[in-house]
Structure 1
């Protein structure tokens, strides 16, 4: 009887684990979170269940540290991870890499799809973004009149530059009506054209709370704004479509007010420093001018003395010029004589005679070389002819041998190739013989 080797439990669990990991590379699963355990190691262990089944999950510390809000028992969550088997206990489980509230995943997908489409259209291009004014005459704010955003903006402006007036364009910043409200406020700010720059934003919140700033209609209203826009939505970690479309993204409403307003204390300090630098520069310039005037006064000379000096200088230059001309003419004469001698040496008649002598010499050498090559080739040809004669079949026939062929012209090399009565032809040194086989003797 054939005995099949039994697997050990370790081998079975190991093979099952590899089979699961190869079949499920990565999965998204949605369900209710239960049995959450958080030991001192920092890892999370919990179950995910629905009305009929549950599955064990493990989320290690390196992944759960990225979660902004710790989930609680009973939360409906959506997880992304790898299916595997904990071999020591044989437990089927999911190693979780991402966890988010149920429903957030659909919003995130919508966010990414709209972001990709608007980016493809060029709404995020840096080239289309408008520069912000250095010192705005008035700042427009599109936000809720009762929210923390307007309070933070006004607080920062009162501290930095209280002289800049602010116009509030009140709007809802959360809920179904918020999208139309924000668009209306942006259009109103552009129609009135009172402000030099427009801050659009609100305080922090969940992805659902901030969703009106991810609506396509709001993004296109911001892109169509003739006024420069600053998006200041939520906290620093919050990112919306409005941030990409606006001319500038500020991490918070307070940061938006900081970016667009000059610091009056810094300006006062800068003005005082500029005043001191200007005064110092003026004193230094006056000192340099006085020094230059004294130096020029010391250098100022009598014009008559200057004329005498120039006349003496002209005489010196005249003498040097005459001497230089004489030297140049002398060098020219010497060079002309030298060139005349070289020209006589390079006479065409002399060069032609030399060329004829060289040509005669080459003709003689060529004739001798051709004769030698012909002699060598004739000797080689005679040698090859002798060698060919030695190996020629005709020479073999001349020694008394014959070549025997059957009636098809094939050469007979063995007596076994013939039988009695076959016709054969024998070729000898001079002529051919035709015969009939009367007997065959094989050796």
Structure 2
């Protein structure tokens, strides 16, 4: 009989682990992720399942940091690693070294996952993006000094705005160190914010692998936290990166970025050139007319007048030049926020048509109101005249004007009583007669039914 060997649990599990690790040292396993649990330590634990079978997997922190996508439940992946046994549980597990998604590429999947996460956080919202300064004095550029990008930007700026200063931060624009190098440039410009007014991150075109550094989460958050406006000019017009979505403005190419930051100054210079050309044309036109008018005069008189005209034109040109310079200076001193506000309001609504329609309606209402007022006044005046005529016809004063009078008793209890019969008055009693003009007071000396003798005593 062979001697019975008794194993301790730890010894047996350790022996099994060593045998398995020597046998399954490097293999690829395909399956679907489930029960994914990222740990605070940075390790990622999940289960790889396929049909009815499943295998625990551990991805340690160092290998997890090299992944370009974030593992999630339901994702089909291909894992490379080695088989081992977790002795504390006696559990078979796969220690992963690298992992890639099945179907979509790792870079594209990482791009979509990061884009969705930052979008949910609001880093792409238009409300947080700032307007670029219309007239920057100095532009900070984060790019490589060895590429053609910086030469293209300098060429465009010198052609459109030669007085604009450029301050370049040399950065690595490709490779694993690219995100941190670009982020360091952005942080440096923010630390020295008094030197520049806007930051441009510029790089030429390339494949998705070449531009992968600009899909970095840390770089995206650095751009979002920048106190200075950031323009993203990465790749060609069809290339999109996470940095493009987070930046305050995306330019299709580095040359387009240079045109955007010099657009306001370029428009003013074009306007000044156009006005100067108009002034010169006007001067030549007036000079031609002056020559025609003075053609019949003596040469000396023509020369003197021509000299005076030229001097006046020169003076006028100087005045217009000064006015143009003053206008340009005023435009430059206008606050940027007011310019942006007016531009937005003008773009949202054209009020010239509404003003014209309102003015037309106002004029029509004014005409109608004036016509109605004239008609109303005329009607009321006619009614007033008719009423006045009727009142005059019914007025007692009209009867008095024909020679009649009203006689009132005066004094005593009957004071103010209208006298209608001589029998109502007594001799010696005072009466008051109201005439068309003035009144008379008299004392009765005799009464008679047919005739009454009245002695006048006073008149008023």
The normalised TM-score by structure 2 is 0.39
The normalised TM-score by structure 1 is 0.40
